[in-house]
Amino acid sequence: MSELDIAGQVIELARRLAGPDAQAEVTVTRADLALTRFANSFIHQNVAESGTAVRLRLHVDGRTAAGSGSLVDPDGLTALVERTLAAARLCPPDPAWPGLAPPSPVPTGAVFDEATAFAEPDERAARVRDFVDAVGGLEAAGYCRTAYRSGAFANSAGHSASGRTAEAAMDGIARTGGADGVARRCADRLVDLDGAALGARAAAKARAAADPVELPPGRYEVVLEPAAVADLLQNLSWFGFNGKRYAERQSFAELGAPQFDPAVTLVDDPLHGSALPYDLEGTPRHALTLVDAGTTRAVTHDRRSGAESGVTSTGHGMPGASTFGPIPRNLRLLPAAARTVGGDSPAPVGGPAGGAVADPDTAALVAGVQRGLLVSDFWYTRVLDPKQLVITGLTRNGVWLVEDGVPTRAVRDFRFTESYPRALGPGRVLGLGRLAVRQPDRTDGVWWEAPPLRLASWHFTGGASG
């Protein structure tokens, strides 16, 4: 049976067992996930899994419950409906139930690549080999993964949808002594992942990060590479543009206010890359501009948070949204318009040990910094103040002192404490790169896309140890 056939069977079972007045919605997703992992410069794990998940949400007699299962034979589907119905009868009343998504057209989704969806292990292994060869004898570790999802949605209001997606990602580290360099990329097609280019970049950054000096904490002008900017986008999504948190006044977002620098435009754009064209509630997904030239324009909603706020769903229904809230999961910081610097793209910036510290796009931003820091990556970031979105975290995988437009010394890792919206506020964005790079999340189908970013100030509060 197709995923849509399975969804239709569950709806018919719900009508028969729960009665004609029950409201039911079903999502069926088949996933084929594969991962090739390497450490100490050799592959030590290749795993793959394939499965089908069925999720039912049932509203009956004013009460709502959800259930899930993986057995798609008649007995398995009947058991899913029976236990979800039993749970609904034990739940408290749900006066905020927003109803089912009405029938509506669903877009076709992103371009689907068959070769990525059904990639063989040796195709991932070839990219790992290219990465390891390119690091030139340094220690290498990371992964290459591919993912395929096909799914369908149906509800008892007569709405249905289907779609399929494919995605590939690679994340690798090169290490020499205590210095690491990172390169990662997410793409719709496996063929677009160049293991050799990623390995060469990671190795150059690792070599350039050797023998770091320690600088005092304080506020520094920074150039953040796309891996670091991805952390900004993720935290802005989870805690800022979340419609539930906004309704509860736990978000910094102020609709219609110029909260960001005019250079900042943020768009949640699932159909730009690998995502199904509908959400968990069957609402069609589309590009949603959250910040337009510095002005906050929207937050994300599922049907429940939208009904409570008096607006429609933005297509962000997802597991856990009723508890945590709906979030953007495919956020793009749009790059600067194409431009030339001195007529040509700048060459990669040389750094300590002769390594290429920055790619040409980042180099154009670094060239304007009189004294500041070039930061590769953030990690272990945690929220201190959700309302102002004050975050503390650590740098990693390379930090360099920039003087007169040139990275001059590798720097030891810092701890920072910074309000992300304030750091991106009016007058604080000094430059954006022109090439956005898609960064993978831990979960396939979730990604963050950004160019490098030059900011007037970033608050470093101590060394990595505290």
d(CA 353, CA 31): 45
Better-scored residue on pLDDT, 350 or 269:
269
Better-scored residue on pLDDT, 99 or 351:
99
Please give the pLDDT value at position 342. Answer: 35
347 pLDDT more than 80: no
6 pLDDT more than 70: yes
d(CA 397, CA 225): 11
Answer whether 423's CB lies under 8 Å from 169's CB.
no
Please give the pLDDT value at position 321. Answer: 87
Please give the pLDDT value at position 308. Answer: 92
Please give the pLDDT value at position 343. Answer: 34
Please give the pLDDT value at position 109. Answer: 77
337 pLDDT more than 80: no
* pLDDT digits 0-9 by tens, 219-253: 999 999 999 999 999 999 999 999 999 999 999 99
Answer whether 334's CB lies under 8 Å from 340's CB.
no
Please give the pLDDT value at position 466. Answer: 61
CB neighbours of 89 closer than 8 A, spacing ≥ 6?
Answer: 60, 61, 63
313 pLDDT more than 70: yes
Better-scored residue on pLDDT, 303 or 1:
303
* pLDDT digits 0-9 by tens, 94-108: 999 999 999 999 998
Please give the pLDDT value at position 274. Answer: 80
Residues 425-434, mean pLDDT to the nearest whole number: 97
Please give the pLDDT value at position 422. Answer: 98
* pLDDT digits 0-9 by tens, 171-194: 999 999 889 999 999 999 999 999
Please give the pLDDT value at position 356. Answer: 56
Q: What single-letter amino acid sits at 450?
A: A
* pLDDT digits 0-9 by tens, 52-76: 999 999 999 999 999 999 999 999 9
Domains and CATH numbers, the chain: 3-206 (3.30.2290.10), 211-233+339-463 (no CATH), 242-333 (no CATH)
311 pLDDT more than 80: yes
354 pLDDT more than 70: no
Residues 144-156, mean pLDDT to the nearest whole number: 97
Percent of the chain with pLDDT over 70: 95
- Mean of pLDDT over the chain: 93
Please give the pLDDT value at position 90. Answer: 96
Q: What single-letter amino acid sits at 184?
A: R
Which of these ranges, 31-45, 124-138, 308-322, 368-382, has the smallest mean pLDDT? 308-322
351 pLDDT more than 60: no
